[in-house]
């Protein structure tokens, strides 16, 4: 059993327990903070992936002239 099998009743129980622990005034703040954290994580992950793609492409373009220099006579 994993987290994928929680279902609607499980989510309702989690929400009720969270509401009891943190209270109705604090719950929107926690939700907003969680949303911002998730948004920053997604942004960082996509930025990291784009940096990785750029570095892979730049290595290929930087390495090509060096190989051509090896073939030229001195």
What is the residue-wise DSSP string for 27-74?
HHHHHHHHHHHHHHHHHHHHHHHHHHHHHHHHHHHHHHHHHHHHHS--
Q: Domain ranges for the chain, please list them.
A: 27-51
**Residue 20: band (very low, low, confident or very high) from pLDDT cuts 50, 70, 90:** very high
- Tens of pLDDT, residue by residue over 25-55, are 898 898 899 999 999 999 998 988 887 777 7
Say what the pLDDT of residue 53 is.
72
């Amino acid at each position: 059993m994993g987290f994928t099998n929680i279902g609607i009743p499980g989510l309702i129980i989690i929400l009720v327990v969270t509401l009891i622990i943190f209270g109705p005034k604090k719950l929107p703040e926690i939700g907003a903070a969680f949303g911002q954290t998730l948004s920053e994580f997604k942004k960082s992950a996509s930025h990291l992936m784009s940096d990785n793609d750029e570095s892979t492409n730049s290595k290929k373009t930087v390495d090509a002239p060096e190989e051509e220099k090896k073939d030229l006579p001195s």
